[in-house]
């Protein structure tokens, strides 16, 4: 059983309905392994509100045109609007009102969202072992987080599991120290017809790539979880053993004299 302070930051790359089997069961699988879980959906970064109606005065109101001509033009305008509204309702029957998107402050993009959650929740938590599972675009958001918070991430994150990540360390201009850290602490389970954990060649100088055991992009996290949990356990054990103080000659002599 893992320490209850341990957290997983789970990132999804697309909108998934809450009733989705995979979305609903994946956090439960993590919690059953003893992890505390934070689930992010970085694309849900706005709310939809009804667009305010702006009254535009008719140009014919102040015209010198005869009343009969103005009435005829107004009638044509109203009929045109009525047909357009009918078409919009036919094209999208669920959308009877015109809506607009209001982006959430400091969370206007997946990258901003990841940094915001890190600064306000992860960085301030008491967790000593933080693990990331970042799927698809979530991998790109994680690399961006490392670029902006490199020292903090390195001090708190134990391991990172990417699943079919679309990150690119060259295009994102990740520095040498970030690429080296990713090689040691990350693994990318990619869509492939090869058996689970089969090594897959990579053109990028970052983390190792292995098969997720499926060629379906949306199932790469689900299929990889047995290997991901093993990867996290080994990383946690390696971190614990590296923190144990080495037995120096002086400490050995003191211990011998106490006996």
Contact 146, 223 (CB under 8 A): no
Question: Pick the catalytic residue: 59, 77, 136, 193?
Answer: 136
Residue with tokens 């979530």: 138
Query: Residue 216, Cα to own-chain centre: how many angstroms?
Result: 19
Cβ-contact 153, 146 below 8 angstroms: yes
What DSSP state is assigned to residue 245?
P
Task: Answer yes or no: are the C-beta atoms of 164 and 14 closer than 8 Å.
Answer: no
Measure the CA–CA gap between 86 and 199, rounded to whole angstroms. 56
Is 136 designated active site?
Answer: yes
| Residue 139 to residue 135: CA distance in whole angstroms | 6
Catalytic residues: 136
């Amino acid at each position: 059983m893992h320490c209850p302070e341990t957290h997983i930051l789970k990132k999804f790359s697309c909108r998934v309905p809450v009733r989705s089997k995979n979305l609903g069961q994946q956090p439960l699988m993590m919690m059953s392994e003893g992890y505390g879980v934070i689930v992010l959906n970085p694309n849900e970064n706005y709310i939809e509100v009804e667009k305010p109606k702006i009254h535009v005065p008719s140009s014919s109101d102040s015209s010198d045109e005869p009343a009969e001509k103005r009435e005829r033009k107004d009638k044509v305008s109203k009929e045109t609007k009525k047909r357009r509204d009918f078409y919009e309702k036919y094209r999208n029957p669920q959308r009877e009102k015109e809506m607009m998107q209001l982006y959430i402050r400091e969370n206007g993009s997946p990258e901003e969202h990841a940094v915001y959650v890190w600064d306000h929740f992860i960085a301030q938590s008491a967790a000593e072992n933080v693990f990331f599972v970042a799927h698809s675009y979530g991998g790109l958001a994680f690399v961006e987080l490392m670029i902006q918070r490199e020292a903090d991430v390195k001090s708190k994150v134990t391991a990172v599991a990417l699943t079919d990540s679309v990150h690119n360390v060259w295009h994102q201009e990740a520095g040498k120290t970030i690429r080296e850290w990713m090689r040691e602490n990350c693994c990318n389970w990619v869509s492939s017809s090869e058996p689970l954990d089969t090594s897959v060649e990579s053109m990028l100088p970052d983390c190792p790539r292995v098969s997720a055991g499926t060629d379906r992009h949306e199932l790469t996290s689900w299929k990889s979880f047995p290997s991901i949990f093993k990867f996290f356990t080994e990383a946690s054990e390696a971190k614990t053993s590296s923190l144990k103080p080495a037995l120096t000659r002086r400490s050995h002599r003191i211990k011998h004299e106490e006996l």
